[in-house]
Amino acid sequence: MDMIKKSPRPDVSVHRPAASVIKLQAGSKSIAFSFTSRPLTSHAGLCALAGFFQWQRLLEAVRAHLPFLTSSPNARPLEQIVLSYILGMLSGARSLSQLAYLRRDRVLSQIFSLALPSQSTFSRFFARFTQAHNQRFFSPLWRFLLESLPERAEGYTLDFDSTHLCHDDNHTAEGLATGYTPQGFARNYHPLIAVVAESRLAAGFWLRPGDTRSDNNIIAFTRQVLSHLPAAARVSLVRADSGFGQDAWLRMLEDQGLDYIVVARLHRPLKELAQTTRKWTRTSLAGVEVADESYQGWAWAQGRRLVLIRHEIKERPQAGGKMLFEQKTYRYQALLTSLPLSLDGLTVWRRYNGRAGLENVIKELDENFALPQTSLRNFWGAEAALSLSVIAYNLSVLLQQFFGWKEPVRAETLRQRLFRTGGVLSQRAGQEILRISACKRRVRRWWEAFFRKLSTLKINCMAVEAFST
């Protein structure tokens, strides 16, 4: 009997000719259009996250701290839903429907070994969260993300702030309440956030209803944030704006041995003090004078150091502060601080000004991680989704630190120049190969260095330049 010879298995990495070709005239030449069934992606650069997540052991950390389990053996693993949400945030999604759109990307599903969820899967997942679930799940995750903070002899600065997430057209979600915002009265959330200034990493996030005072629950929030930090990360300074300058919180910081600089509210007693003090002294900065005073607010058990700053408007027209008197000569600021008198008032003011980095973090979260767009019917589900968005931001910062980038870049820059790189998935000799679109030789060399850093088995200090074009 004659043996039937089988033809060798074709290399699927070679493009097969299409059955039909469409030709269109484009200017002075014609272009042929055809189709392919090969898995393509416009987010091939996200594969860098697969290696980085492996380095971080992110999936194991999420799986270890899940606050609830699935009841069906056929249900999608919950850690995959969490990881899919983080991937969607990093890719630029701004809603659950946009997150679900990634399901169409077969390459990402294979790279991350994920069955990417639908919008309804995300909704059902977040609907299960309660306050206890959020506490049980996110506190360990914050500790996990912050454990890489190295010891610093000078310590770390911890910045606190609140922000407003307006949803004036939403009248069904829990926790959306009418409160004052910088844009006027609107239905909003009023969350608390804490950031480690030197690393730009968020250290905690709590969602609150929109009609909540800025300092509401700040003591409990501060205690939890401090518990997130590793023992080596000593806090040397706490900074906050005037919404937090309350006696109870300042006493808690003093009891913890934490130095602080907090903006004082310019109520009438402080206005009178700024007008009557004789301690104004010129500084080395033109147009800036400071006065060191002791101030004891109403119902305070003790007085505290108060640094008054006034900026001459003629000399410094762009300076911050408020004009307090009819004579429009100065703008005033007031800072409560526990720092010793050996640090003069100008130094205290300059150290507080470093808090501007927190405003940039909040702006980044708003513009690139969809905080103002995220609102779910369940309040605690909304807090869970927003907390995961902030964690996605932290991972983008840690990615840059992993590769040794000294100058931080925004998430949108990461997307445009890294994550949104085209690629095609093919096979050769049973090995899946993701082919990155890189025409220039220097770009290929950059990608090679990038993946070489990810593929090393030991921690090393080998840095990779930020981008190559």
Listed range (25-29, 205-209, 422-426) with the worst mean pLDDT: 25-29
Q: Which CB contacts under 8 angstroms, 24+ apart, belong to 245-248?
A: 245/336, 246/215, 246/218, 247/297, 247/299, 247/300, 247/301, 248/219
Are 38 and 423 a contacting pair, CB within 8 Å? no
**Residue 3 pLDDT class (50, 70, 90 cuts):** very low
pLDDT at 5 over 70: no
CB atoms closer than 10 angstroms to residue 135: 13
**Residue 10 pLDDT class (50, 70, 90 cuts):** very low
pLDDT tens by residue, 153-184: 999 999 999 999 999 888 889 999 999 888 88
Bridge partners, 426 (sequence order): 433
pLDDT at 457 over 70: no
Query: What is the pLDDT averaged over residues 123-139?
Result: 96
pLDDT at 210 over 70: yes
Mean pLDDT of the chain: 88
pLDDT at 332 over 80: yes
Question: Is 171 strand, coil or helix?
Answer: coil
Question: Is 427 strand, coil or helix?
Answer: strand
**Residue 459 pLDDT class (50, 70, 90 cuts):** low
pLDDT tens by residue, 242-251: 999 999 999 9
- The reported pLDDT for the residue numbered 468 is 60
Rounded distance between C-alpha atoms, residue 403 and residue 465, angstroms = 8
Query: What is the pLDDT averaged over residues 72-97?
Result: 90
pLDDT at 195 over 90: yes
Of 67 and 3, more confident: 67
